[in-house]
Structure 1
Amino acid sequence: MPFYKATCCTAQDFYLNVSADSRFTDHRPDRPWPEVQEPADPPAEEEPRFPPNFELKPPVTPDSVIAVCGESSVRVEVKRDLLGIGKSVQAAEVTLGGCGATREDQEVLVFESELHSCGSQLLISEDSFVYSFTLFYTPSPLGDSPIIRTLDFSVTIQCHYQRKHDVSSGLLKPTWTPFSGTKVSEENLHFSLRLMTDDGKFPRPSAQFLLGDKMKFEASVKQFHHIPLRVTVDSCVATVVPNVDTVPRYAFLGNNGCLFDSQLTGSSSHFLPRSQDDTLQFEMEAFRFQQDNSGLIYITCSLRATAATAAVDATNKACSFSNGGGEDDCWLDNLKWRS
């Protein structure tokens, strides 16, 4: 059997053989091994993406409180969904100046109060009385938790009552149909001007007078449950038709309560002492216009109410000229005060 000598390849030979084969495999072991790279910094976080044209919804004021001002009281109705968010408030969470609801159901809380109750405040301006109330909402914790999901707030409620109003005597005849001229102010203060009997105790059933007779008038304001009121007569005008801007006209009372007739004509016209603050009487002599033969006179007066505790001053007064002037002067010239 022939003997063959075996030889072994060296590492170099093997490497070369592999290298030769690499021509076909495109493997290039003679290239240097790549250096080890340090880990790259983590990528920056992307900015959060918001919906386009996103806007916070503004709060919507719910139409959930209604107030009705009466002659002597106020009524406030509060929807149970006071906040307009579909959640009912508890009756104990809502008060009117500290007063609880007088009636309630599943939909509405009702508060009723006299004008001077439930923490009301009175503001007196030149033209009106303003009674202000405050409706309070104070949320209570939810269930047994210590949290709330609404804020407490208050709502101001105001009732306005005019202090001034024009009332007309109706038709007067100095040979003159019964009248009682009463008008209701826009905000329910009731004023009246009427003729009275000679003793001043009763309404006069007739408006017919003889020239030279005394005409006695009574101005009044209904008290109801307001604070004590004092009525004053700011001005009076006599005309032959029910229109104060026509001629002839005779302005016999003006300047916020001055009865000029006695000064202008030498008559004895004057205010009478008050028996109570909410009424005021004055008397003057019957007259007619010189060039008018109808024998009809309309008298229109502007009445005003103020708090009975208000001081008597230049705008709150009832003053008469004494005997045409010259006696009992108390303010300005020839004025006689009747507070």
Structure 2
Amino acid sequence: MGWWSVAVLLWGGVVGVCMGAVLLDVKGVSGPAPASRQPLPRPAMNPPQVPARPPFVPSVLPPPQVPARPPFVPGLCRGQLQDPGSVQQQLLGPVKELTWKFPQMPVEPTSPPVQFQLREPVSVSSVAATCDENMVHVQVKKDLFGSGELIQASDISLGGCGVTGEDSVAQLLYFQSYLQACGSQVVMTNDSLVYSFSLTYIPRAISDTSAPIVRTSGAVIGIECHYLRLHNVSSNALQPSWVPYAATKTAEELLVFSLKLMTDDWKFERPSNIYYMGDLIHFEASVKQYNHVPLRVFVDTCVVTAVPDAAAAPSYLFIQNHGCLVDSKLTGSSSRFLPRTQDFKLQFQLEAFRFQQGDTGSLFITCLLKATAAASPTDAEHKACSFVGQKWAGAGGEDQLCSCCDGSCGSRKARDLTSVSGIWTWRPFLSFCLC
């Protein structure tokens, strides 16, 4: 066989392989190639003889002995063991218990039930009338309402007619008029002839400038003359009432100011909101300090207005000049500071009143409270003075500081005391309703 025969043979084998590949791709299964294109069998070749290898038998060896490793501890060398507690103490230091807590407002204890009985007004017999054939005679007590406040003769009239007589010893006022005079009105009934008069009381202010207040209410009393019958009349019952107000406000550093209405024995907060003319209103100003040095409280100013505006008119500044209670000096009342028994508490009393003009049925009191360290001395701007016995006296014995109450005490420049170191202020607002 020549070289071309070998080439043809090889070419035929390649074609057979390619055709076999085509058949697999198209039919998906292998099949015999066409007989005309089967490759010629190759001559057998003799492979080298390799000696057979004995079968592999794995040998079983004992596992190596590895020494146990100690547990890993950060920051220690290998082989060193220590107690976990001592390790924590070395890394973090001694652990201290947290004892500080955020400050909280203490809970005020509830006050026990107060045994309080409201005083009811009693009708007084302060007016008497006598009718004769052609005249009426009226007798009026100066203590018209039975409250101890004496009225002025110029403030009362009988139908526009003034007082015709006065008894200064018995404190009596007399009126006398003809039946057809002094604004009388006559009415005919089936069995009587009635002449009617009006006894009118209009109180004047104690002072038009410094004390524009009155401590009695106006009144109109009807007087009638029934012929064949005699009838005496008395004043109508007076029933004013006050709406109390007690306010607390927490200031910086847990300071708590309060201004409360107290009972007559000063032991409890007053549960009723009703007062009458002639009564004494008991106030207690206090400051409670928590986590703070002891403090002393003062009432710097107090002003009364008819509307909720401290700058409105009319107004009555009954505590002024840095703690001078001037009401007793201006009106002769029994208003005063009580002797101080505790630094954080100050008590004072005010005699009930109302405005002569602009009387809306309500009174609004605005006070300025101040507190200083109890260890600091008092001065002209921090005092509590009352006019008692024709002289000024201090609630804490600071009588020498009260001498300036007739003039000017301390600086009158306007300033915000809350910015002064060591002084805390609060301005409570009280509302009273006079019915």
TM-score, with normalisation over the residues of structure 2? 0.37
Larger radius of gyration: 2
**Greater per-residue strand proportion:** 1
**Greater per-residue helix proportion:** 2
TM-score, with normalisation over the residues of structure 1? 0.46
